[in-house]
Amino acid sequence: MKKYMGNKLAIFLFVLPALAIFIIFDFFPIIQVFAYSFTDWNGLTTPTFLGLKNYIDLFNDRVFYTSNRNQLIFAVIITVYQMFFATVFAITISDKKMKGRKFLRVAYFIPVILSVTVVCQLWSAILSGQGLLNKLFETFGSDYTQNWLGDRYKAIYVIAFVNAWQWMGYQFALIVAGIKSIPADYYEAAKIDGCSNVKAHMKITIPLLAETYKFCLIISLTGGIKAFTEMNILTGGGPNKSTFTLTYMMYNAAFKKSDYGYGLASASIMVIECMLVMLLINFIFREKNQLKEEEKSKKRRLSYGN
């Protein structure tokens, strides 16, 4: 292994295919997005350099702020919902005494394998004006019928719930895999020390799943920032762009107004936001690791001193 790692040519050759794909299909297009965001371009003709005009227009566009607010709401809702329920369900089914755990494990994951379009059509039928949910309220004599998807303020919460419902199973699978990798000895030791189940999970399971949670957090938050499909199918971004996100702004500018420059400016901001979130999450988690290592090294130094 040491000999192999010392062979720079071998490393280069093995890394090259993946690196080439990344550069051609990810890195280069991202650079293009940033470059074209400074231009007036309809997607077909030669772009004309505009300087910062697209960005100035973007920051003066009320829909830009609505989109960012929606992204934040969306990201927070899906993160809290998915991580909370995924953890609870994963811990529940990790108990080997529990009956029906195999069935539940499959059931929680089923929405993930469904097409987003199918899921959205399903929820659209439930949430529409004459949909199942409102009919249920009517049947039980309640006047709590709502315009779930057409409400200017509430629709974004409903859309976020639909996304959270579908993708919770993905995080559930990750957390279940994480729990399985924790040695049973830890729980046995905790039990001998008189630790309750809840306390054992709080003190053992959750801290040891830090890396899994970091990954879950990244996919939830960046997923929230990039949200588009659910809005497109359930509300079409409406009413009056009140469920827009930056991705929707990009789509709308590029394909409805043939203004690719402006659309790519919003895409650039979205890319920057995603990167900032990832950096922030890495920073938060790295800080904790560093603190732990610092504490450990302090202890070591003290024990050597003694």
Partner 1 sequence: MKKKILSSLLCATVAATTIIGCGQSAQTTTETQSEAPSEAATAEATAEAENTQAKEPGEKVTLSIYTQYADDDTKVPYDYAVEQLKEAYPNVELNLIVQAQDDGQTLKTLAATGQLPDIYQASTDIINTFRESNQIMVLNDVAKSTGFLDKLYEANKDLAYAEDGNIYAFPFSGQEYVLWYYNKALFEENGLEVPKTYDELKNCIEVFKSKGITPLALFGQEGWNTAAAYDVVATRYTEGGIKALDEGTASITDEAYLTAAKTLEELVAAGLFQDSATTTNYDQASEMFLSGNAAMFINGQWYIEDATAALGENVDWMFYPAADEASYEAGKSVFSGGGSASGFAVNPDSENAELAAEVAEFITEKYCEAKVMYRHNPLVALDTGKEPDSEYPAMMKKLSDTLPSITATTKFTWGLTNSTFNDGIQSESQGLVSGQFTADEFIADMKDVME
Q: Is 306 in the site for partner 1 (CB under 8 A)?
A: no
Measured from the CB of residue 256, what is the shortest distance to partner 1 in angstroms? 5
Q: Is 53 in the site for partner 1 (CB under 8 A)?
A: no
| Cβ atoms of 56 and 286 closer than 8 Å | no
DSSP 115-157: -HHHHHHHHHHHHSTTSHHHHHHHHTT------TTT-TTTHHH
Q: Is 45 in the site for partner 1 (CB under 8 A)?
A: yes
Stretch of residues binding partner 1 (CB under 8 A), selected from 92-100, 124-132, 164-172, 214-222:
124-132
Q: In angstroms, rounded to a whole number, what is the distance separating the alpha carbons of residues 184 and 242?
A: 49
| Chosen residue from 62, 96, 97, 99 binding partner 1 by CB under 8 A | 62
Distance of CA 275 to CAs 2, 65, 163, 172, 271, Å? 35, 19, 22, 25, 6
Q: In angstroms, rounded to a whole number, what is the distance separating the alpha carbons of residues 124 and 233?
A: 9
- The residues in 232-261 that bind partner 1, with binding defined as CB under 8 A, are 234-242, 252, 255-259
Q: In angstroms, rounded to a whole number, what is the distance separating the alpha carbons of residues 235 and 151?
A: 10
Nearest to partner 1 of 43, 111 (CB atom)? 43
- Chain centroid, CA 187 distance in Å: 31
Stretch of residues binding partner 1 (CB under 8 A), selected from 30-38, 147-155, 170-178, 278-286:
147-155
Measured from the CB of residue 146, what is the shortest distance to partner 1 in angstroms? 9
For 49, list phi and psi in degrees, rounded to 5: -65, 130
Q: Is 97 in the site for partner 1 (CB under 8 A)?
A: no
Nearest to partner 1 of 111, 239 (CB atom)? 239
**Closest residue by Cα to residue 112 from 77, 86, 84:** 86
Binding mask 149-188 for partner 1 (x = CB under 8 A): xxxx------------------------------------
Stretch of residues binding partner 1 (CB under 8 A), selected from 145-153, 167-175, 176-184, 214-222:
145-153
Q: In angstroms, rounded to a whole number, what is the distance separating the alpha carbons of residues 171 and 127?
A: 25
Binding site for partner 1 (CB under 8 A): 42-45, 62, 124, 128-130, 147, 149-152, 234-242, 252, 255-259
